């Protein structure tokens, strides 16, 4: 707590744009929007110094609802765009946002390699275990026995993707899980994720009340992680493989240096530039 007068600081609502979200009433993504604004306010990041990058899906609408810079990109490519931006403009706070389908299926390959590359940015995945925008198909994180997907009667029958385990194995430097029902707690986790050097993954359990109404009960099933974050990947792996997906909190803080290529020396004469393109 600081002894500063609140009105001199940027308040969370000042990070919101004037566009009204079109998410379904009751959607968890409203809580995440609030958490992002609280985290940005907590860090007092000027809106022009932050960029929110997304792919496609309900949660990928996030940049529209914020007053920071933003880019609503193509399906599954949020991390590729965000990495490019961070490398070109390292002074910006870059946050990629999206859902489980966008991030782990269509964008699955980018996810693996962004974890490996470890750029200094944050990835917020609003995981509702369903494709909501396209009306309720099973996603990579859907339980194999979920029978209500029109394309998967009887369930998918295949193991769900384990994003935190995969992130750890691939080299992500900060791994956390949170819930949209805990907007303030999630804000703190996002703030820590932004502060931590390297690639930070925050999986936020964010119910889809339209296609997965049973997820309203998630908030009663959450378990605060019994131990603080570890920097030991082996210990983190043991925890992540046994937590049944409901432990919340910061689960891993690594110490790998972030990826940041040194800028190429600029070419300032036409002959050199010509040489670059000679076949």
Partner 1 sequence: MSDSTQKTQQVIGTTEELLAYSLALEIEAVERFTELGDQMEVHNNHEVADLFYKLAEIEGKHVENVNKASAGKELPNILAWEFDWIDEGESPEGGAMEDAHYLMQPWHAIELAKHGEQRAVAFFKHVASNATDKDVEAMARELVAEEEEHVELLEQWQQRFPRPDEGWDDDLDPPTMVE
| 143: DSSP letter | -
**Interaction between residue 102 and partner 1 (CB under 8 A):** no
Buried/exposed code over 141-158 (b: 16+ C-beta within 10 A; e: otherwise): bbeeebeebeebeeebee
CB 178 within 8 A of CB 185: yes
Contact 99, 239 (CB under 8 A): no
User: Scanning residues 214 to 273, which ones bind partner 1 (CB under 8 A)?
Assistant: 216, 219-220
How far CA 224 is from CA of 34, 82, 176, 178, 245, in Å, comes to: 21, 30, 11, 9, 11
Q: Of residues 129-158, which lie at the interface with partner 1 (CB under 8 A)?
A: 135-136, 150
* Interatomic CA distance for residues 1 and 254, integer angstroms: 27
d(CA 92, CA 133): 30
Should residue 182 be labelled a site residue for partner 1 when binding is judged by CB under 8 A?
yes
Residue 159 engages partner 1 in binding (rule: CB under 8 A): no
- CB of 14 or CB of 274, closer to partner 1: 14
Stretch that binds partner 1, among 14-22, 83-91, 157-165, 270-278 (CB under 8 A): 14-22
Given 188, 196, 239, 253, the residue binding partner 1 (CB under 8 A) = 188
Per CB under 8 A, the list member of 104, 131, 211, 247 interacting with partner 1 is 211
Pick between residue 44 and residue 266 the one whose CB is nearest to partner 1: 44
* Interacting residue ranges for partner 1, rule: CB under 8 A: 1-6, 9, 12-13, 20-26, 28, 30-31, 38, 41-42, 135-136, 150, 181-185, 187-188, 207, 209-211, 216, 219-220
């Amino acid at each position: 707590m600081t002894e500063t007068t609140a009105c001199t600081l940027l308040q969370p609502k000042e990070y919101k744009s004037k566009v009204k979200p079109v998410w379904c009433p009751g959607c968890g993504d409203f809580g995440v929007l609030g958490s992002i604004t609280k985290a940005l306010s907590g860090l007092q990041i000027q809106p022009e110094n932050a960029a929110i990058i997304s792919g496609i899906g309900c949660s990928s609408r996030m940049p529209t609802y914020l007053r920071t810079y933003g880019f609503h990109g193509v399906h599954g490519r949020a991390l590729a765009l965000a990495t490019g931006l961070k490398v070109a403009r390292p002074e910006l706070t870059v946050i990629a946002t999206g859902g489980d389908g966008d991030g782990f299926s269509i964008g699955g390959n980018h996810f693996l390699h962004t974890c490996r590359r470890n750029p200094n940015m944050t990835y917020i995945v609003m995981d509702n275990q369903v494709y909501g925008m396209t009306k309720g198909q099973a996603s990579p994180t859907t339980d194999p026995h979920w029978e209500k997907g029109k394309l998967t009667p009887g369930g998918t029958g295949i193991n769900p993707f384990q994003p935190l385990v995969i992130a750890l194995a691939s080299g992500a430097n900060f791994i956390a899980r949170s819930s949209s029902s805990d907007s303030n707690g999630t804000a703190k986790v996002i703030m820590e994720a932004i502060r931590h050097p390297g690639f930070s993954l925050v999986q936020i359990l964010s119910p889809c009340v339209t296609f997965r109404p049973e997820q309203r009960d998630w908030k009663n099933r959450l378990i605060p992680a019994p131990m603080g974050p570890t920097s030991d990947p082996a210990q983190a792996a043991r925890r992540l493989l046994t937590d049944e997906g409901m432990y919340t909190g910061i689960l891993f803080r690594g110490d790998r240096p972030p990826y940041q290529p040194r800028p190429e020396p600029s070419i300032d004469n036409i002959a050199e530039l010509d040489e670059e393109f000679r076949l």
